[in-house]
Amino acid sequence: MRILVVKKEGFAWDLLPIWALLLFFVLLPMWGCAPGRQGDAGLENWPEGKSPLDVGTRLAEDFLRSPHTLFGDRDTSRKPQYITYPDVCAWLGGLWFAQASANPEMAARFEERFLPLLDADSQLLPRPNHVDNNVFGAVPLELYLQTQKKPFLHLGLMYADTQWDLPAEASPADREWARKGYSWQTRVWIDDMFMITAVQAQAFRTTGDPGYIDRAAREMVFYLDTIQLDNGLFYHSPEAPFIWGRGNGWMAAGTAELLRLLPRENPHYPRIMEGYRLMMNALLKYQSESGMWRQIVDDPEAWEESSSTAMFTYAFITGVKNGWLDPETYGAAARKGWLALVSHLDEQDRVTEVCAGTPIGYTREYYLDRPRITGDLHGQAPFLWCAVALLR
């Protein structure tokens, strides 16, 4: 049986078999942007109230109305003596989000929050003497990118430069790292691979000087060669043989952010991509049915933890969006992670089940017994990064 198709707008179809016409209408939805299909890798078409714009706005507004924290904890009785890195990570995410969502009013409020640090509250500027302090420079560098105001540039570059400039009081160990061409702040803790790469990548974005991104890449290769396990994951430190969730999250987010900006012709690009993909493949195996990852990634009895889930989801989204990861497989996992995180956002816009700040530990029980906090910026910040990555 054949069916006549009418000529339209100068394009004539001849008589077509009925089966061909039916097949056309079956395949037509697959060529569009149905959720979860190749058109969007499952990273569009969100349920009401769960879109990156909706959720990101809630998270950004929560940060803007909150006082500075002491290492991310909302306990207002504990006043910070300086801006600590969880605030930095949330602040940076908020600025990214304001730009990605085309919200100049919000961006101006993030800038207004910062301005007292240049004057009346300058005592809150962290000393540039540790990876967790120097990452602060990423925020003024982002402010410079968005406003072109030179005081932000000068402040941010000071933190980027002092991460490599050896201080007079440097220890023999510090001097040895510097002699090898690495940051004198090197510790070989996986946390470093966000703290170092974030500020150096921002310095590269603002100046175009390849020296910044190249030294971050060289440092990353050293960490990958030194501490990445055969399965692609990482111990918290060489002295702490546990695959701690957020520790691995810092590495996952750090590699994704570095690769996003690293020129492909950089000689370190292939090695970093290799380490990143090896890690992503391992993480895929340990995502729980709920979409979350666990406090100890490879421990099925560990509790499901939000900050690591957000960081891994950010790394997946970034990989899919940049074509580094299979969109069908990793897009589905990223979607599952995002929706799991949304289910952990309470009515006050606070993320639940966030592991407290965690120095290295020496027993499994130490990691399993860590406090589980609601609203800690260790969780709020990377969830905000995920919203940004989905909007990019």
Task: Report the pLDDT value the prediction gives residue 197, as an integer from 0 to 100.
Answer: 96
59 part of a folded domain: yes
Give pLDDT tens digits for 81-106: 999 999 999 999 999 999 999 999 99
Q: Is 50 exceeded by the pLDDT of residue 1?
A: no
Is 33 within the bounds of a domain? no
| Residue 107 covered by a domain | yes
Q: Is the pLDDT of residue 205 over 60?
A: yes
Q: What is the mean pLDDT of the chain?
A: 91
**CATH code assigned at 86:** 1.50.10.10
Percent share of the chain, pLDDT over 90: 86
pLDDT at 218 over 70: yes
Is residue 345's pLDDT more than 90?
yes
Q: What is the predicted pLDDT for the residue at 25? A: 44
Domain count, the chain: 1
Q: In whole angstroms, what is the distance from residue 304 CA to residue 297 CA? A: 9
Q: Which residue range is the domain that position 342 belongs to? A: 2-27+47-167+174-391
Distances (CA, A) of 312 to 87, 149, 336, 382: 19, 33, 12, 9
Does some domain include residue 35? Answer: no
Of residues 236 and 93, the one with the higher pLDDT is 93
pLDDT of residue 77: 82
**Is 290 within 8 Å of 340 (Cβ atoms)?**
yes
Question: Which residues make beta-bridge pairs with 335?
Answer: none
Who has greater pLDDT, 327 or 27? Answer: 327
Contact 137, 158 (CB under 8 A): yes
Better-scored residue on pLDDT, 147 or 12: 147
Q: 364-377 pLDDT, tens per residue?
A: 999 999 999 999 99
Whole-number pLDDT of residue 41: 81
Decide: helix, strand or coil at residue 237.
strand
pLDDT of residue 10: 40
Residue whose token pair is 């890449």: 217
What would the pLDDT profile of 114-161 be if each residue is shown by its tens digit?
Answer: 999 999 999 999 999 999 999 999 999 999 999 999 999 999 999 999
In a domain, 39, yes or no: no
Q: Quickly state the pLDDT bin for 73 (edges 50, 70, 90).
A: confident
| pLDDT on residue 75 | 81
Q: How confident is the model at residue 6 (pLDDT cuts 50, 70, 90)?
A: very low
Phi, psi torsion values for 115, nearest 5 degrees: -55, -40
- The answer to whether residue 36 sits within a structural domain is no
The DSSP code for 295 is S
Structure confidence at residue 24 (pLDDT):
43
How many other CB atoms are there within 10 angstroms of residue 121's CB atom? 14
3-class state of residue 104 by DSSP: helix
**CB-based contacts of 377: which residues, under 8 Å, 6+ apart?**
63, 69, 72, 86, 87, 89, 90
Question: Residue 17: its pLDDT value, please?
Answer: 53
Q: Which has the higher per-residue pLDDT, 107 or 38?
A: 107
Domain assignment present for 298: yes
63 pLDDT exceeds 70?
A: yes
Three-class SS of residue 378? helix
What is the average per-residue pLDDT within 165-181? 97
Coil vs helix vs strand at 351: strand
Query: What is the predicted pLDDT for the residue at 239?
Result: 85
pLDDT category at 257 given cuts 50, 70, 90 is very high
- Tell me what the mean pLDDT of segment 30-34 comes to: 38
Band the pLDDT of 260: cuts 50, 70, 90: very high
40 contacts 328 by C-beta, under 8 angstroms: no
Q: 103, 95 in Cβ contact below 8 A?
A: no
The answer to the question of residue 57 being in a domain is: yes
Q: Which residue has the tokens 């027993």?
A: 363
- Lowest model confidence (mean pLDDT) among 162-176, 201-215, 235-249, 255-269: 235-249
- Check whether 12 has a pLDDT greater than 50: no
Compute CA distances 259 → 232, 268, 351, whole Å.
17, 10, 28
Please name the residue ranges forming H helices in the chain. 18-27, 52-64, 85-100, 104-114, 131-134, 138-147, 150-162, 172-179, 192-207, 210-227, 245-261, 269-286, 306-321, 327-343, 364-368, 377-391
Whole-angstrom Cα Rg for the chain = 23
Q: Is the pLDDT of residue 37 over 60?
A: no
Using DSSP's 3-state secondary structure scheme, residue 11 falls into strand
Amino acid in position 365: E
Would you place residue 76 in the very low, low, confident or very high pLDDT band (cuts 50, 70, 90)? Answer: confident
Cβ atoms of residues 95 and 142 within 8 Å: yes
